[in-house]
Amino acid sequence: MRPTRSLAALATVSALTLAACGGDPTQDPSATEEGDASKVTIGSGNFTESTILAEVYAKALQDDGVEVEKKLEIGSRETYLPALQDGSIDLIPEYIGTLATYFDKELAVTDADEVYAALEKSLPEGLEVLEYSEAENADNVVVTRATADDQGLEKISDLEGKAGDMTLGGPPEWKERAQGVPGLKKVYGLEFAKFRELSAGGNVTAQALENGQIDAANIFTTDPSIVQKDFVILEDDKDLFSAQNVVPLLSSEVADDTVSESLNKVSSELTAEDLAQMQIDVTDGKTPEEVASAWVEENL
């Protein structure tokens, strides 16, 4: 029995030595530690700002040694959230207010911290958000300067008694969202003569408003057309619209330390002015990837 014990003891010592040196033959040497992401697939919504943000995330992650694949301009939230949940993508830039409302139709808070806390509680298992940015791109009701002057419009409640003769334009999802057309009716008592479905961002909506094809529009805070065309943002005097700070939404499977720290750095530096300027740069002919890379190189 002694030789058997000796061989067994030797085998045990050898196994422990291999394990201590990282040489456990049962362990795949190419495997990463639990929670580490070998590759992150980044998606974006179907509007310029979302694409720019996705490119910013991609560049920041690549600079920190993370392999990145991009699947951009997927579509609306109703399209890309299922893609995130089924693993087609791992990460997408989001906005805390509309995302929280998507998962909690009865959301009543509008303050950024409160919205973020509600969002964390309502996220489905397997998804998480990282730190949110100071940069915010909130929903607005916007009119031309001429319309504001002619109709005496400064705040959304000033549309009472006038909306019935006006056409409102906005993204298709706004027709059903609680902080879209239904919210304007519920909170402000406004019923527009017509709602015209338009692209979620920028040029199409701005041109329709400027050309008189619509009388009011949902145009986001950082859209450069507001400054370029001297549009007037009507004050949300009854707090219909939630805080809309930019936040990374990602699969928990890829939320390792490297990915989280990289994206949190982006959130800590990004401002609404940065987003507006990057969109102007794209309008002037640069690609989203070019403006995103330049921002990352300058700020991170």
**Is 195 in the same domain as 220?**
yes
- From residue 264, alpha-carbon distances to 55, 230, 268, 269 in Å are 15, 34, 6, 9
Establish if 1 belongs to a structural domain. no
pTM: 0.71
Measured CA to CA, the distance from residue 163 to residue 275 in angstroms comes to 31
What pLDDT does residue 91 have? 98
**Is 212 in the same domain as 71?**
no
Compute the C-alpha angle 180/182/183, nearest 5°. Answer: 65
Q: What is the pLDDT along the chain (300 residues), one digit of tens a residue?
A: 333 333 343 343 343 343 333 444 334 333 344 445 679 999 999 989 999 999 999 999 999 999 999 999 999 999 999 999 999 999 999 999 989 989 998 888 989 999 999 999 999 999 999 999 999 999 899 999 999 999 999 999 999 999 999 999 999 989 998 889 999 999 999 999 999 999 755 578 999 999 999 999 999 888 888 888 999 999 999 999 889 999 999 999 999 999 999 999 999 999 988 998 999 999 899 999 999 999 999 999
Question: Which of 200, 234, 268 is the C-terminal boundary of a domain?
Answer: 234
Establish if 26 belongs to a structural domain. no
Report the half-sphere exposure of 29 (CA within 13 A, side-chain side): 6
What pLDDT does residue 179 have? 80
The sign of the torsion formed by the CA atoms of 97, 99, 102, 105 equals negative
Question: Which of 208, 234, 260 is the C-terminal boundary of a domain?
Answer: 234
In this structure, what CATH number is given to the domain that contains residue 248?
A: 3.40.190.10
**Is 59 in the same domain as 193?**
no
Give the domain range for residue 226: 141-234
What pLDDT does residue 67 have? 97
Establish if 97 belongs to a structural domain. yes
Establish if 145 belongs to a structural domain. yes
| Distance, CA of 41 to chain centre | 15
**Is 204 in the same domain as 147?**
yes
Establish if 12 belongs to a structural domain. no
What pLDDT does residue 211 have? 96
Establish if 183 belongs to a structural domain. yes
**Is 104 in the same domain as 43?**
yes
Which backbone phi and psi does 250 adopt, to 5 degrees?
-150, 165
Establish if 17 belongs to a structural domain. no
**Is 287 in the same domain as 248?**
yes
Cβ-contact 270, 133 below 8 angstroms? yes
Token pair 């199409």: residue? 204
What pLDDT does residue 228 have? 87
Structural domains counted in the chain: 2
**Is 49 in the same domain as 86?**
yes
In this structure, what CATH number is given to the domain that contains residue 178?
A: 3.40.190.120
**Is 177 in the same domain as 123?**
no
Question: Which of 234, 265, 283 is the C-terminal boundary of a domain?
Answer: 234
Measured CA to CA, the distance from residue 63 to residue 69 in angstroms comes to 14
